[in-house]
Amino acid sequence: MRIGMVCPYTWEVPGGVREHVSGLAEALMEMGHEVSVIAPADDDAVLPPYVVPAGRAVPVPYNGSVARLAFGFLSASRVRRWLKDGDFDVLHVHEPAAPSLSLLACWVADGPIVATLHAALPRSRALHAAQPILASALEKISGRIAVAEAARNTLVEHLGGDAVLIPNGVHVGRYEKAEPLPGFPGTGGTLGFLGRMDEPRKGLDILLAAFTMMAPDRPGLRLLIAGRGDPGEVLDQVPRPLQPRVVLLGQVSDADRIKMLHSVDVFCAPNTGGESFGYVLVEAMAAGAPIVASDLEAFRQVLRGGEAGELFETGNAAGLAAAAARLLDDPARRARLAAAASVAVREFDWSVVARDVVRVYQAVAPAAGRVAVAL
């Protein structure tokens, strides 16, 4: 099949949706399909050969974060041209309700359209007010996918209709083996965090508070953090004597991301909400990292109710500190959790997930069908 895929968020900044789109595109190409992706990106950005830039992204507050989106005449023109040149059998858009390329593509295209919903959006007046505008685009969607029950509920409650559940995927084999970063994890124990440091709902402040509680009794304990944000603002939340034990990697490459996950004794996911799935958990599971995570419904489902990782009360720094300490002191428990995670993560391997996505394509796109451009 010839598949056109739309990523609404900039390709130049790592994120769960971008990782999902790239992973799915690569899995589909490995299956023999032709895939082209359009995404917000500067024209001179270094992109994979299957990605077409749609122009510079603009930061916009969205779903408790700051998303980098593209929406305007230039983006619409490029989406229209990409659709015409691609002559796709099916168009697959991600987050069609976001004010970005996916919404533009739905307005422009005629033919089989599949949409994947990733976010768990709270009720809002803005979303309710935008429903008439969104309806003209969303009614053209032939097949709907939700990565988790929370995303599916968003669709049912806010936008109407239903969706088939197909989770996020991960190339498990790419994560299983990697050398840790030099000097890690060390003998005193290392906690790890991966995510945007400047996004409150990722919960880094909770982890910093937990680390501050634990560190005085554990002189060798370190905290390894990877992600965008202001290092000074992070270190200011930790007492000065402990600051040298907080290692900030900044934004890392895909290869170093995997190395980082192999460099920790316990991976911490202290997110406070707004998560429909928990992609970072799947990455850590694939890398074999023992996990402590907030007891969010999305995380509970991925971790099989706590069988594949420890859960602590969301927002409770003392609870996180206690759970992490128990794991640091119990290597056998860490090994059991890592083994259970390695088994559980197989259901999220792209070799499994991509086949389910193709079944949706086949259900909505006739063999000779093409996605045309509305003139």
Assigned token pair, 228 = 């965008």
Which residue shows structure tokens 């603009």? Answer: 58
Higher pLDDT among residues 217 and 72, named by residue: 217
pLDDT at position 126 is: 47
- What proportion of the chain, given as a percentage, has pLDDT over 90? 71
Pick the CATH number of 2-169+349-373 from 1.10.10.1100, 3.40.50.2000, 3.30.70.3270, 3.40.50.460: 3.40.50.2000
Q: Which CATH class is domain 175-346?
A: alpha beta
Assigned token pair, 187 = 């003998």
- What proportion of the chain, given as a percentage, has pLDDT over 70? 91
SS (H, E, C) 61-78: EECCEEEEECCCHHHHHH
pLDDT at position 57 is: 83
Residue 136, pLDDT > 80, answer no
pLDDT tens per residue across span 306-339: 999 999 999 999 999 999 999 999 999 999 999 9
Q: How confident is the model at residue 89 (pLDDT cuts 50, 70, 90)?
A: very high
pLDDT tens per residue across span 254-299: 899 999 999 999 999 999 988 878 889 999 999 999 999 999 998 9
pLDDT tens per residue across span 172-223: 999 999 999 999 999 999 999 999 898 899 999 999 999 999 999 999 999 9
The CA-CA-CA angle for residues 173, 263, 325, to 5°, reads 115
Residue 367, pLDDT > 60, answer no
Closest-CA residue to 248 (of 233, 269, 268, 270): 233
Q: How confident is the model at residue 56 (pLDDT cuts 50, 70, 90)?
A: confident
Mean pLDDT of 134-148: 84
Start-end ranges of CATH 3.40.50.2000 in the chain?
2-169+349-373, 175-346
Q: How confident is the model at residue 58 (pLDDT cuts 50, 70, 90)?
A: confident
Mean pLDDT, rounded, of the chain: 90
CA 3 – CA 317 distance, rounded (Å): 45
CA 266 – CA 185 distance, rounded (Å): 10
Lowest mean pLDDT among 12-16, 24-28, 206-210: 12-16
Residue 35, pLDDT > 60, answer yes
For the chain, the residue count is 375
Q: How confident is the model at residue 162 (pLDDT cuts 50, 70, 90)?
A: confident
Residue 31, pLDDT > 80, answer yes
Q: How far is CA 215 from CA 207, 219, 222, 253, 327, in A?
A: 12, 6, 8, 29, 15
Q: Which H or E run includes 24?
A: helix 16-30
Burial class of residue 92, CB neighbours in 10 A (0-12, 13-18, 19+): buried
Residue 125, pLDDT > 50, answer no
Q: How confident is the model at residue 161 (pLDDT cuts 50, 70, 90)?
A: confident
pLDDT at position 356 is: 97
pLDDT at position 357 is: 97
Assigned token pair, 37 = 């992706």
